[in-house]
């Protein structure tokens, strides 16, 4: 088989309907827009308009707010750290910092810091420095013989 012999399956590509191209096309004259009215005109977008009835987004009550000062932490579980150590991506004998976690691919882009959580099991002794940690995560690391330093 050669590149010039490749073709799509039958019916995989369908040509777009050309509207407003004569009565014989089936979409001539008004081109599927019907007769007159606001929706027959060009440049009209009536999202959320309900014919003068109070729109649902105004009928329903609004609750709460979104804080503009909320911190965005990358989350790392202790089980994920153990996986990275087992895969030789992290060295347990050296201190583990945010830079080391990013370099090893354990975390992605760091915005406001890294938070350590307790999901999973940790066997290696670690000295880890993170922005935040749960009490259970600190307990898990200390149980394995390591230390957690939290920088605020």
Which domains occur in the chain, in start order?
74-150 (3.100.10.10)
Give 57-100 as a 3 state SS string. HHHCCCCCCCCCCCCCCEEEEHHHHHHHHHCCCCCCCCCECHHH
Q: Is the entire prediction scored with pTM above 0.85?
A: no
Summarize pLDDT for 131-143 with one digit per residue, the tens.
999 999 999 999 9
Summarize pLDDT for 24-44 with one digit per residue, the tens.
999 999 999 999 988 899 888
């Amino acid at each position: 088989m050669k590149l010039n012999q490749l073709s799509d399956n039958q019916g995989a590509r369908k040509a777009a309907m050309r509207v407003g191209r004569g009565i014989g096309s089936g979409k001539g004259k008004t081109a599927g827009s019907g007769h007159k009215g606001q929706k027959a005109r060009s440049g009209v977008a009536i999202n959320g308009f309900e014919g003068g009835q109070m729109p649902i987004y105004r009928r329903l009550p609004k609750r709460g707010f979104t804080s503009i000062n909320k911190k965005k932490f990358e989350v790392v579980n202790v089980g994920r750290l153990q996986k990275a150590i087992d895969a030789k991506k992290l060295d347990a004998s050296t201190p583990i910092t945010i830079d080391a976690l990013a370099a090893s691919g354990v975390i992605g882009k760091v915005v406001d810091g890294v938070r350590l959580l307790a999901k999973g099991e940790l066997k290696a002794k670690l000295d880890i420095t993170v922005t935040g940690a749960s009490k259970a995560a600190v307990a898990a690391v200390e149980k394995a013989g390591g230390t957690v330093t939290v920088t605020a």
